[in-house]
């Protein structure tokens, strides 16, 4: 006969508080305990296993509102995928490619219909079923380009683009936090965009790639003045500063990329490298500075650099 466990004991066994158990049950339907004739909650060993897994995933950065209703099999797959290494190459490339194409198509359809709940559910399913590196390089990189093209062609509205951006940013932030929760032995990398630039997807995707290779990621976000970024890099002993760039209108453009790199150079520790990605990355090479500056126009290129940086660190 299945042992019946009260909420306090169940919470202790799951590694969370009784208050958390009640809240997850009431707000999100995470578990459905039985009740005694007097109305007290009772939990089974399967309930406790599920609560323990939810608690572990929340500690890794996942929001309970996104994962509370996932089947146990999907929760276990999400945990296992992160625990093993989502950055290992797959041996089923054709099947994975087909799955990626299907996911992108379904998400674009959901966005075109303004079905934002379905879009969020599909993104969560993508996080569970697609390796993280593939998700970054092939799913969201492709989708951002598609959405941008459709907005330019007036096939989608700016409202749809903003809704897409908000939902994806939320999910990617969780992915980054989950990867950052693991111990790091790699280089310290700072991520930001230049002053006036509010477009952060490039650096957010790059930060996820870096964290997947075991680097210590410090994500400072968009619109960062050069002096403040340089100060942060000094305080954090950053090995590399990674900048994202996009063309900006005259009212948003503060200084050119070359001027920004020159100003940043004055504030950085001598050995800190500067890597510049995005559409304007080659402008960084025109800055006259006495340090390593790299132009990284594509995500797959920065992915290679992160891997090389890890391999060189391990070999040292």
Order across the sheet with 273-278: list the strands. 216-224, 188-194, 240-245, 273-278, 293-296
> CA angle at residue 187 from 183 to 188, to 5 degrees?
85
What's the mean pLDDT when you consider all of the chain? 85
Cβ atoms of 87 and 133 within 8 Å: the answer is yes
Which domains are delineated in the chain?
A: 7-69 (1.10.1660.10), 93-178 (1.10.1240.10), 182-315 (3.40.50.280)
- Average pLDDT of the segment spanning 118-126: 90
pTM of the model: 0.73
Residues 163-218 have pLDDT tens digits of 999 999 999 998 898 887 665 678 999 999 999 888 898 999 999 999 988 899 99
- Residue 96's pLDDT is what? 62
Tokens of 153: 């062609």
Angle at 81 (CA atoms; ends 78, 87), nearest 5 degrees: 140
Burial degree of 261 (CB within 10 A; 0-12, 13-18, 19+) = buried
pLDDT at 236: 93
pLDDT of residue 76: 80
pLDDT > 80? residue 252: no
Residue 157 has pLDDT above 60, yes or no: yes
The model's pLDDT over 275-289, given as tens digits with 9 standing for 90+, comes to 999 888 888 888 877
Least confident of 97-106, 109-118, 207-216: 97-106
pLDDT band at 3, cuts 50/70/90?
A: low
Choice between 242 and 40, residue whose per-residue pLDDT is larger: 242
Task: Please report the DSSP string for 92-144 in residue order.
Answer: -HHHHHHHHHHHHHHHHHHHHTT-HHHHHHHHHHHHHHS-HHHIIIIIIHHHH
Structural tokens at position 282: 């080659």
Q: Which residue has the higher pLDDT, 95 or 288?
A: 288
Model confidence at 316: pLDDT above 70: no
CA neighbor of 289 nearest in space, from 279, 305, 274, 309 = 274
pLDDT of residue 90: 45
CB 136 within 8 A of CB 97: no
In this prediction, residue 231 carries a pLDDT of 94
Tens of pLDDT, residues 29-46: 889 888 888 888 888 888
125-129, 213-217, 228-232, 261-265: range with lowest mean pLDDT? 125-129
Cα distances from 155 to residues 103, 112, 148, 210, 245, in angstroms, run 20, 9, 10, 34, 26
pLDDT reading at 219 higher than 80: yes
Which two structure tokens, joined as six digits, stand for 101? 């194409």
136 φ, ψ (degrees, to nearest 5): -70, -50
pLDDT value for 131: 84
**Res 167: pLDDT:** 93
Measured CA to CA, the distance from residue 283 to residue 105 in angstroms comes to 35
pLDDT at position 229 over 90: yes
């Amino acid at each position: 006969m299945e042992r019946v466990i009260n909420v306090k004991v169940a919470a202790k066994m799951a590694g969370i508080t009784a208050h958390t158990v009640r809240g997850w049950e009431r707000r999100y339907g995470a578990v459905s305990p039985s009740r005694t004739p007097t109305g007290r909650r009772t939990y089974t060993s399967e309930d406790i296993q599920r609560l323990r897994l939810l608690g572990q995933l929340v500690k890794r950065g996942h929001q309970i509102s996104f994962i509370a209703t996932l089947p146990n099999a999907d929760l276990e797959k999400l945990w296992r995928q992160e625990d093993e290494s989502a950055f290992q190459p797959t041996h089923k490339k054709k099947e994975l490619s087909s799955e990626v194409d299907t996911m992108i198509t379904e998400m674009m359809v959901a966005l075109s219909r303004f079905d934002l709940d379905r879009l969020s559910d599909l993104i969560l399913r993508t996080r569970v079923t697609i390796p993280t590196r593939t998700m970054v390089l092939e799913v969201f990189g492709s989708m951002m380009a598609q959405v941008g093209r459709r907005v330019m062609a007036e096939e989608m509205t700016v409202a749809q683009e903003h809704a897409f951006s908000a939902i994806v940013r939320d999910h990617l932030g969780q992915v980054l936090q989950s990867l950052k929760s693991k111990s790091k032995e790699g280089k310290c990398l700072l991520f930001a965009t230049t002053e006036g630039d509010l477009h952060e997807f490039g650096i957010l995707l790059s930060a996820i790639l870096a964290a997947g290779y075991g680097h210590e990621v410090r994500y400072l976000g968009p619109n960062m003045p050069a002096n403040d970024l340089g100060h942060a890099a000094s305080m954090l002993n950053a090995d590399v500063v990674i900048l994202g760039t996009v063309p900006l209108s005259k009212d948003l453009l503060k200084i050119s990329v070359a001027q920004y790199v020159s100003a940043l150079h004055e504030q950085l520790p001598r050995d800190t490298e500067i890597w510049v990605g995005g559409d304007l990355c080659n402008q960084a090479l025109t800055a006259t500075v006495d340090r390593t500056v790299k132009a990284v126009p594509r995500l797959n290129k920065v992915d290679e650099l992160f891997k090389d940086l890890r391999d060189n660190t391990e070999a040292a």
